Structure 1
Amino acid sequence: MMTAKHDALKRNLTDTLSQPKSCNVVQPSCRPPTEGGTCFKCDPDWERHGNKCYRFLTEKLTWDQSRSRCEELGGHLVKIDSKDEQCFLDWTLIDKMDEAEDKFWIGLTDQVTEDEWLWVDGSKLDESLAFWNYGEPDNWREKNPDGEDCARMGEKGGAPDLKCWRDQDCNKPQKGVCEKTPSMGRVKFNCE
């Protein structure tokens, strides 16, 4: 009986590992070379991925309010710099969305000049790292004549092609994603 269970678990693990993955989102919180070394650490309520810490705001705020809230917390609305980062955020948001329209503000806007998308640090969007959903940005004006000048992201079931950005009226409350640089910590058995 135990052998049958073992064989079934082994088959399940083999099947799971053989399925293609679009990205790898597993990231250890700290993997120092030796005890007593240094590592990156994030403040409580922040999640680490790569060389950034992320905080997922659950309160629905306007884009400007979300930007201010991130700054109050010592960061800024997220600037997505790589496919790996987009993948991490896409998969992380699946568990943080309660419904399909439950999206998250990112730090991208064309409020200054229409169709010139800028990150919160003032840098231009690199089109090779743009993850707009099909037909987006569309600057839809039916509910607001000023259009949609702020970017949000998230797909309840995940976006298989990672294309889950949409433009939205900046005054429509959404959740938000903040980011900041991790601090350095000393290692004993875990990051402290």
Structure 2
Amino acid sequence: MNFACRLGTTTENSDYYMGCNGWTRAGHKCYQIYDGPKNSWNDASRMCHSLGARLLRVESLDERDWVEWQLTDESHPNVYWSGLNDRATEGTYLWEDGTLANSSLIRWNQEPNSWFGDEDCAGIRQDGHYNDYDCFLQAPAICEYTGSPCPPGWNTWSTTNPVCYYVTTLNNTFTWDEANTFCNKDKAQPGQQTPTLLAVNSQAEQTFINTLLAKQQLSPRSWWTGLN
């Protein structure tokens, strides 16, 4: 019988490096939280760019909650540079790439106040609140980039919180144990979460699976899943 493998990359499994080359995966992004070195905002931005990344840009409530959770460890510094700034127009906060920040996703610490008009760059504190600071403040940074959603030959159904699927063809048939071993070992990617036989967790996912299987050429009558 044929089968489908599932490679999860949800925020709940954020410690896996799927497509992130050693950075921490959460949803469709890869993150690196640097406790050092400390740099000005411009130098922190250049550091992230030298790594093919950018300073932190929060785009959803889930992402905001995840980032805040990452900073709760008391061993972390008090503040990190984010990409948030109002250097172009006072009071209009943009991310580093010029994207207008969604104010509902920014929790200010009784800020911004642009003390003496010299605070145009925002850092995120250990408690998840933002402060505007002088852009020459020396602080560590959080870098991020958009990771590759799936390995070659796999399919995904959500770009914001991807799970990857691999479906075998009519030429590849296995017993259940063989299929399970194939997913766990033969389809494993270096430094990534171990794939498993298919587990469906929502109606939306089931609908996607139905559509995916309907597109298979020379399809068998059924596929193995992880249900047992």
TM-score by structure 2 length? 0.58
CA deviation vs aligned residue, 1:93-139 (integer Å, no higher than 9, x gap): 2227445xx20011011111110111111111122222212x21111
CA distance in 1, matches of 2:13, 2:103: 27
CA distance in 2, matches of 1:81, 1:64: 22
1:88 shift after superposition: 1.0
Q: Does the 8 A contact of 1:61 with 1:174 survive in 2? A: yes
Q: Does the 8 A contact of 1:97 with 1:103 survive in 2? A: no
Q: Does 1:147 align with 2:138?
A: no
CA distance in 2, matches of 1:114, 1:86: 24
Q: Does the 8 A contact of 1:104 with 1:154 survive in 2? A: yes
Q: Does the 8 A contact of 1:27 with 1:50 survive in 2? A: no
Q: Amino acid of the residue matched to residue 189 of structure 2?
A: C
Query: Relative to 1, partners in 2 of residues 1:114 and 1:88: Cα closer, same or farther, differing over 3 Å?
Result: same
Q: Does the 8 A contact of 1:76 with 1:179 survive in 2? A: yes
- Work out which of the residue numbers 151, 173, 178 in structure 2 matches 1:185: 151
Q: Does the 8 A contact of 2:94 with 2:101 survive in 1? A: yes
| Counterpart residue number, 1:175 | 140
Query: Relative to 1, partners in 2 of residues 1:139 and 1:91: Cα closer, same or farther, differing over 3 Å?
Result: same
CA deviation vs aligned residue, 1:129-174 (integer Å, no higher than 9, x gap): 22212x2111113xxxx4210010122xx45xxxx11111110111
CA distance in 1, matches of 2:11, 2:85: 26
| Counterpart residue number, 2:30 | 53
Aligned ranges 1:9-88 → 2 under 5 Å: 26-28=12-14, 40-44=18-22, 46-57=23-34, 58-88=36-66
User: Aligned-residue CA RMSD in angstroms?
Assistant: 2.4
| Counterpart residue number, 2:82 | 106
Q: Which moved more, 1:169-178 or 1:179-188?
A: 179-188
CA distance in 1, matches of 2:54, 2:20: 15
Q: Does the 8 A contact of 2:123 with 2:130 survive in 1? A: yes
Identity score, percent: 32
SS in 1 for 2:151: strand
Q: Does the 8 A contact of 1:79 with 1:108 survive in 2? A: yes
Q: Matched residue pairs, number?
A: 147
